[in-house]
Amino acid sequence: MILTQEKAPPVAKITHGTVIDHIDPGKSLLIVRLLQLDQEMKTISMGLYLPSPTMGSKDILKIENRFLTREEASKIAVISPKAVINIIRDGTVVEKYPIEIPEEIEGFIFCPNPQCITHAEKIKEKFAVERCCDKVRLRCHWCEFPFFQEHNLEYKY
């Protein structure tokens, strides 16, 4: 059968692994780097800025033979709070859940406040996470500085 361009899926299906759908557009590369998926030599398929009836535009990530932990999913929540995790086994979606926004996250973002003590002392960054309208707002545990996840944040890879 010849697949026409219109009928070919934008990102190929996987047999076993994780599909992260409804990623904020342009954020999938960041997720790959943050979770260090690029160092695991697993097959990763990525769709960037795909049309989405609910979001307007979205990314999608499909990782073969890799099952994300809940802790890893919570990191994604800060970058892309509307993301949905699909666990695939034998080509079938066996589990599907929206990202849970954690109450607190540690260690993978630098506080964007240049006057925060975390830039002068060797202490673990810690942030309270709260929903603010449709967005996720983080507040530094130490300096109480609040910021949104869309800010040009510096991540620890």
Please report, as ranges, the residues that interact with another protein according to CB under 8 A.
Answer: 113, 115-123, 132, 137, 139-146
| Residues contacting residue 69 through CB under 8 Å, at least 6 positions apart | none
Query: In the bound complex, what is the minimum distance in angstroms from residue 130's beta carbon to another protein?
Result: 10
Give the nearer residue to another protein in terms of CB position, either 6 or 121.
Answer: 121
**Contact indicator for 83, 23 with CB cutoff of 8 Å:** yes
Between vectors from CA 86 to CA 94 and to CA 137, what angle results, nearest 5°?
Answer: 140
Query: In the bound complex, what is the minimum distance in angstroms from residue 132's beta carbon to another protein?
Result: 7
Query: In the bound complex, what is the minimum distance in angstroms from residue 76's beta carbon to another protein?
Result: 24
**Contact indicator for 23, 61 with CB cutoff of 8 Å:** yes
Query: In the bound complex, what is the minimum distance in angstroms from residue 117's beta carbon to another protein?
Result: 4
Give the nearer residue to another protein in terms of CB position, either 67 or 147.
Answer: 147
Give the nearer residue to another protein in terms of CB position, either 45 or 118.
Answer: 118
The phi, psi pair for 108, rounded to 5°, reads -110, 5
